Amino acid sequence: MTPEEYGSHGELIARPIPSERFMDASMVESPPGEVAPAREPRIPSPAAAGAAGDGIGPRRLRRGYVPPWRARLPRIAAPTGAMLVMAAAVLTFVDTFMNWVQGSSGWNLIFRPFGTSGTFLFTWWSRGLLFSGFTSLLLVVLVAASAVMLFADRKGGNLVLACGIAGLLLALLDIVMVYANSLYFPAGPGPGLWVFAGVSVATVALGLTVVPAGAFGEAQPD
């Protein structure tokens, strides 16, 4: 073999030979002397890229989606769930006119506060603070509004949940203050405060389970 031939062959051998699995199928099967057209790269669709990269599938984008931990809870679809939420609002309204402390209802506390200072919202003294029935009436309006949203097939569960937590905290605070000031309130908390706390717990449960009718059966985790 002449040096010229060796140089040409060596030049060919020195070139990297691509593996067949990295070559386009049309190029591998092409007859000698023909150059197959390059295949256009595959660009994944935005939905597929989002599903592969972020873990967000089309189901997560649907209306009525709830997180996986919340999807494991039992669900009550509207209008049944909305009626239960409205019932919680009615019970909270009735509870405002029940005995909260010392024979006074939450409604009476709005106009006749205990302690040295007070407003329609709460009354305070040197050793404590007592919320009036205005807070429960405000929660009644918000819970009733969320029930209407559920009747209209809109999301209202988060508002119900927030109202339930707020009502429970307010009721427990009043109960603790009454017990902490037993000299002022020897009779202890009235049944109205206990009913307020119980209805608030039920409202929290409804906020976690009630979903719009359109979301029932669809809010499944991916």
Helix H or strand E segment including 130: strand 128-131
The residue type of 13 is: I
* pLDDT (tens digit per residue) in 83-134: 999 999 999 999 999 999 888 889 988 887 666 677 888 887 777 888 999 9
Cis ω before 79 (30° cut-off from 0): yes
- The reported pLDDT for the residue numbered 102 is 84
Q: What is the distance between the alpha carbons of residues 204 and 158, in angstroms, rounded to a whole number?
A: 9
* pLDDT (tens digit per residue) in 177-200: 999 888 888 888 999 999 999 999
pTM of the model: 0.63
